[in-house]
Amino acid sequence: MDKLLKKPTDWLLLVAIFYFVIKISKQFVFIPIVHHYFTDLLFIPTQLLICLIAVRFLKQNQSITIPFWLIVINVVLMSLLFEWYEPMVKNNTQQTADVFDVVMYVLGGILYYLIQKTWFQRNIENRNN
């Protein structure tokens, strides 16, 4: 599996496949905890992988990684936007404030950090040696 998931685009494809399997499976089998929270878990890694791919492409530098502090800021901003601002301030009836969503965003940020630290930085170090 280590050889398959060397690049951010490989991880993005894997995360996208998980996401679409969950969305499609809702029509056939409904597992509440998976369908309500697993997509929230995948949201932050998906967003950060897209950002990483875009920045690496624009800068033409495949060794760029997203610093931990930016991952934390992203999690905080997305939590505030989707779990406080949209449902409470804007009174968006399609959004609901849910503390478990925030927990999933945090876990997604941790997941992304571990993926980046384990695969992307290690592959950069291996390339430089």
Tens of pLDDT along 75-110? 999 999 988 888 777 777 777 788 999 999 999 999
Provide the pLDDT for residue 19.
81
Is residue 57 included in any domain, yes or no? yes
Task: Count how many domains the chain has.
Answer: 1
Query: Is the overall model pTM greater than 0.85, yes or no?
Result: no
User: Where does the pLDDT of residue 10 fall: very low under 50, low under 70, confident under 90, or very high at 90 and above?
Assistant: confident
Structure tokens at 40: 């929230």
Supply angle C-alpha 26, 40, 93, rounded to 5.
80
Residue 88, domain member (yes or no): yes
Considering the domain boundaries, does residue 90 fall inside one? yes
Contact present, 79 and 14 (Cβ < 8 Å): no
Contacting residues for 28 by C-beta, under 8 A, at least 6 apart: none
- For residue 1, being part of any structural domain is answered with no
Q: 30 lies in which domain range?
A: 8-128
Dist. CA 97–CA 79, nearest whole Å: 9
**Model confidence band, residue 7 (pLDDT cutoffs 50, 70, 90):** confident
Contacts of 22 (CB under 8 A, 6+ apart): 34, 35, 38, 39
Residue pair 46/19 in contact (Cβ under 8 Å)? The answer is yes
Residue 111: pLDDT above 50? Answer: yes
Query: Has residue 3 been placed in a domain?
Result: no
What is the pLDDT, as a whole number, of residue 1?
A: 46
Model confidence pLDDT, tens digit, residues 18-73: 888 887 887 787 777 777 788 889 899 999 999 999 999 999 998 899 999 999 99
Residue 2 lies in a domain: no
Radius of gyration of the chain (CA): 16
